[in-house]
Amino acid sequence: MTSSTPAKWGLRSLALGYLGLLLLAPVAMIFYKTFEHGLGPPIEAMTSPDALHAIWLTLLMVAVAVPLNTVFGVGCALLLVRHKWKGNALIDGIINLPFAISPIVVGLSLFLLYGNDGWFGPTLSEWGIQVLFSTPGMILASVFVSLPFVVRETVPVLQEIGTEQEQAASTLGANVWQTFWRVTLPAIRWGVAYGIVLTTARVLGEFGAVTIVSGSISGETETLPLFVAKAFEQFNEEAAYAGAIVLALLALTTLLLMSVGGRKAKAQGGPIPITGDTAISTSNTKEGS
């Protein structure tokens, strides 16, 4: 449409104004609030024992949930794409379930399984295993909410690459294991990497589900998002903002990795993750940035 100049400027300022007020201003504000009195206070707030423990615990969630869901995701994607089965549609639907569920409901569901009156809670506590209000419960919540990403990102790439190279490899005598490591995995690596980035970001930021299962005990079962919420509620604004900045920087890093990953996959001529950043990278190239 050859829109007239006033219309063009009108739409442009409307779009950018909306984004500015809703997106940019709040984020700029939190950076300003955090560093209002220099670097000292936020660094001090982030090196308190409770904050350090929250960071450590958050990283622990990532260290357990991400590898678990990555191995599951790649394996499950291979089965879904390469082995036709009646049950595949059902598995596919179940994998989508965590997308449809409020994090509060995830928390509630784990509470019902592992609480004192839960299905497994009493038995497990007889064995001396405490799931709720401790690390295992929080890991279960993290695994639940971040389960779909690697599968969802790997399936389309697997479909895209086809099977010719794998066939060639096995004709030349490679076994299944060698074919996977030398042919399949290199071909799908950007899709998997993309899924891992999304999984990590999700686990880092999870709040609703973890808040129910953790009990939010400072210095014990508090991840960084819980730390932020609690600090704010206790009027410790400096700590809340500092924690929020750490999480916001991680989110910005995620965005960066997402667009760099998308472009890199393109540049290498490898399979572009279909679920990946095609929209962004196309318009970026158009603009020449």
Positions in 196-255 near another protein (CB under 8 A): 198, 201-202, 204-209, 211-212, 225, 228-229, 232-233, 240-241, 244, 247-248, 251-252, 254-255
Name the minimum Å distance from CB 215 to another protein: 11
DSSP annotation string for the chain: ----HHHHHHHHHHHHHHHIIIIIHHHHHHHHHHTTT-SHHHHHHHTSHHHHHHHHHHHHHHHHHHHHHHHHHHHHHHHHHHS--TTHHHHHHHHHHHHHS-HHHHHHHHHHHHSTTSSSHHHHHHTT---TTSHHHHHHHHHHHHTHHHHHHHHHHHHHH-SHHHHHHHHTT--HHHHIIIIIHHHHHHHHHHHHHHHHHHHHH--HHHHHHH---TTTS--HHHHHHHHHHTT-HHHHHHHHHHHHHHHHHHHHHHHHHHHHHHHTTSPPPTTSSHHHHHHHHHHT-
Which residue in the set 1, 49, 128, 267 belongs to the binding site for another protein (CB under 8 A)? 1
Which residue in the set 57, 166, 242, 271 belongs to the binding site for another protein (CB under 8 A)? 166
Please report whether residue 35 would count as binding another protein according to CB under 8 A: no
Sequence-distant (6+) residues with CB within 8 A of 68 are: 143
Please report whether residue 23 would count as binding another protein according to CB under 8 A: yes
Please report whether residue 134 would count as binding another protein according to CB under 8 A: no
Name the minimum Å distance from CB 39 to another protein: 19
Which residue in the set 68, 218, 220, 264 belongs to the binding site for another protein (CB under 8 A)? 68
Quick one: tokens of 76? 């499950």
Which residue in the set 43, 52, 56, 82 belongs to the binding site for another protein (CB under 8 A)? 82
Name the minimum Å distance from CB 220 to another protein: 19
Which residue in the set 46, 57, 138, 140 belongs to the binding site for another protein (CB under 8 A)? 140
Please report whether residue 171 would count as binding another protein according to CB under 8 A: yes
Please report whether residue 162 would count as binding another protein according to CB under 8 A: yes
Please report whether residue 180 would count as binding another protein according to CB under 8 A: yes
Please report whether residue 25 would count as binding another protein according to CB under 8 A: yes
CB-wise, 93 or 269, nearer to another protein? 93
How many residues of this chain interact with another protein, rule: CB under 8 A?
120
Name the minimum Å distance from CB 153 to another protein: 7
According to CB under 8 A, which residues from 84 to 123 bind another protein?
85, 87, 91, 94-113, 118-119
